[in-house]
Amino acid sequence: MKIPSDVLEEVKHLRHNIETHNYNYYVIDAPTISDAEYDLLFQKLSQFEEQYPNLITPDSPTQRIGAPALSTFKEVQHRTPMLSLNNAFDEKTVSEFDRRMREGLQVEIVTYSVEPKLDGAAMSLIYENGIFVQAATRGDGTTGEDVTENIRTVRAIPLKLSREKLPKLIEVRGEIHMRKADFIRLNQQQEAKGEKVFVNPRNAAAGSVRQLDSKVTAQRPLSFFAYAVGKLEGFPSPETHKEMMDFLVDLRIPVCPVRDRVEGLEGLRHYFDRLSALRTSLPYDIDGVVYKVDNLQQQKILGFVSRAPRFALAQKFPAEEALTLVEAIDIQVGRTGALTPVARLKPVFVGGVTVTNATLHNEDEVHRKDVRVRDTVRVRRAGDVIPEVAGVMRNHRPENTTPFIMPQICPVCGSRAVREEEASATRCTGGLYCAAQLKGAIFHFASRRAINIDGLGEKLIEQLIDQEIIRSVADLYDLNLSILIKLERMAEKSAQNTLDAIKKSKTTTLERFIYALGIRNVGEATAKDLADTFCNLDLLMKADEETLQKVPEIGPIVAKNVLVFFAEPHNRHIIKRLRLSGLSWEEGVEKISEELPLTGLTFVLTGTLSRMTREEAKEHITDLGGRVSGSVSKKTTYVVVGADPGSKRDKAETLGVTILDEKAFFRLLNQEK
């Protein structure tokens, strides 16, 4: 299909504008249009590319959404090794470094480029004729992993370099990282979805880069700062490191703005002191500073030693601790209902900030450290972000202190607080009612795989809760037009769309409703098992622990979680209100009471059966009350083995699970006499 010239021009214009706005927003933090205006530009470009597929190129902004998942990463040989830096932990080591530089270059004073040492994941980016073609992790320094599709989703990284004259090839090296504010928002989203939260921004960034599914990476708020050029071909090289970084800025590749050029040892000391003072106010985590001889020719003269360059050094910040007094131990309830003990401290200055609270993590951690009210403790800023109690000064402990006792009642809503077997956290059971869990509960309830209220996003939910318009998920069904149009960014049309989505959500399925309740450890698969077994919400709510454990794949922990959730009066009241609001689904007859031949038995199929397909075998099993699982576990009753079985047979033998050949399986189904 021939593409009209005006379309080609419009697409070129749209791509340029979108990448300019990406640069303004993600790199220099100075957006010039609203999110809605940006979305319109992006949508228009997507429509052109959908109409004319030949327009789609790897450097188009639309290609940042992620590619199909990989089974593994390919290896990449680095053109030149990605080396580590030698570390310094005191001024003496820095002074010796400066002496070696002066002696090696036979000069009285050395000019250095200085920059923060970011706490992230090292990355190599390859551009050929200005087009991004490859990204690789550091790996062992010689061989890394090809993470091109993941890095393509990072909007701070240009897919096409912005300059008339470009190198034939340039390898940019830098650090993938996550800003502090983005990290906090990501963990809030993870908590709201009931998923794992990250320990610190570095782990979050490194884990995001190594996702086999780049669509996951695309959802992570990653940033990037370049710190070096590994290879430059077809272009005159700058003379200094500073000029090289300025060249990258000219190409619109992000470079840390807090870099500088200083003279001699005194300049290094001043920069270290300056960054130490700035550290807590920077929007990203740093764990030290990096010193490099600025002149690139001098770098070549100095060369390398072992696996590190002689011309560079990283000076790490010292661990920061202080002593203070525990004035109280309070309980904080998180979005997932976890009760976290928090030490309220006599104010103390640590790591550039005044600390008044420190996490104690969980009940076991408090008892392990034996933290008590009136104790003198060592406080540390863990990961430079979250203050924690590092230890107790036992010799300072006054008389008559008492050990900490975890409460059995949620301090926010008064619901029971329980601790699962072998779990470290104690959790509030009032998931649908507790104000501390409300944002997460509503976000999960309204999510696409749950009740699916289209358009009810986090910002709208926050407004509704912060303005105390809703106090539970049931209040969603009491909303009206006059309430919604008063909210920020809510015009009449969008408000009506939200109400229509809420109305539409009233017709659902039992498995979606069970999943939407947010019962701990009850995901989509378990919700389906419960719905398929009980077929009736009232029967499920009345079930005892023994009956619940008859459901395939449900053990004592999940059964107890379900039992405790439905035993909580607050939760039962919210469920009653939801049903009175009109939420409904088709219900059937409980299957757990039916004495079918295979009731309570779990099968795994492997290999090829000669007399029926796997789907037919699965249908026979379920018709007779059994369940078919995709994986072998200790709860598997039988593994049915056909021709050319896979590893499931080996696992069954290892676990001692009974193996049925085809003849025994048909006998069990009464297919063969």
Question: What averages of pLDDT result for each successive group of 10 residues across the chain (673 residues)?
Answer: 80 84 70 74 81 79 65 84 86 95 95 93 94 90 89 91 89 94 87 75 85 87 94 94 95 94 96 91 90 96 86 85 91 88 89 79 90 92 68 91 94 90 84 88 91 89 91 93 89 92 95 93 88 90 89 83 91 94 82 65 87 83 80 87 86 90 86 45
Residue 373 contacts residue 326 (beta carbons within 8 Å): yes
* Single-letter amino acid code for the residue at 539: L
Cα–Cα–Cα angle for 207, 209, 213, rounded to 5 degrees: 95
For position 383, what pLDDT does the model report?
A: 47
d(CA 519, CA 558): 9
* Single-letter amino acid code for the residue at 21: H
* Single-letter amino acid code for the residue at 494: S
Residue 424 contacts residue 463 (beta carbons within 8 Å): no
For position 673, what pLDDT does the model report?
A: 37
For position 672, what pLDDT does the model report?
A: 45
Ordered DSSP codes for 199-257: SSHHHHHHHHHT-SSHHHHHTS--EEEEEEEEEEESSPPPSBHHHHHHHHHHTT--B-T
192 strand-pairing partners: none
**Tokens 């360059």 map to which residue?**
309
d(CA 365, CA 77): 44
Catalytic residue among 44, 117, 215, 648: 117
**What is the homologous superfamily of the domain 602-668 according to CATH?**
BRCT domain (3.40.50.10190)
CA neighbours closer than 13 Å in the CB half-sphere of residue 93: 11
d(CA 582, CA 414): 28
For position 25, what pLDDT does the model report?
A: 67
Concerning whether 316 is annotated as a catalytic residue, the answer is no
Fold of 87-316: D-amino Acid Aminotransferase; Chain A, domain 1 (3.30.470)
Handedness of CA 361, 366, 372, 375 (dihedral sign): negative
Convert 513-534 to b/e letters by CB count within 10 Å (16 or more is b): bbbbbbbbbbeeebbbbbbbbb
Structure tokens at 472: 């539970």
For position 119, what pLDDT does the model report?
A: 81
Whether CATH 2.40.50.140 fits 321-396? yes
d(CA 237, CA 233): 9
The CA-to-CA distance between both ends of the chain, in Å, stands at 64
For position 65, what pLDDT does the model report?
A: 61
CATH of 434-594, one of 1.10.10.10, 1.10.150.20, 1.10.1200.10, 1.10.1240.10: 1.10.150.20
For position 122, what pLDDT does the model report?
A: 92
d(CA 18, CA 25): 10
Q: At what angle do helices 180-192 and 438-446 cross, to 10 degrees?
A: 70
CA neighbours closer than 13 Å in the CB half-sphere of residue 657: 25
Q: Which long-range contacts (CB under 8 A, 24 or more apart) does 524-527 make?
A: 524/449, 525/553, 526/553, 526/554, 526/558
For position 189, what pLDDT does the model report?
A: 85
* Single-letter amino acid code for the residue at 302: L
Handedness of CA 647, 653, 657, 659 (dihedral sign): positive
* Single-letter amino acid code for the residue at 86: N
Q: Which long-range contacts (CB under 8 A, 24 or more apart) does 528-534 make?
A: 529/553, 529/554, 529/627, 530/554, 530/562, 532/591, 533/590, 533/591, 533/592, 534/590, 534/591, 534/592
d(CA 464, CA 191): 19
**What is the homologous superfamily of the domain 5-64 according to CATH?**
Helix hairpin bin (1.10.287.610)
Residue spans per domain, the chain: 5-64, 87-316, 321-396, 434-594, 602-668
Q: In terms of pTM, does the model score above 0.75?
A: no
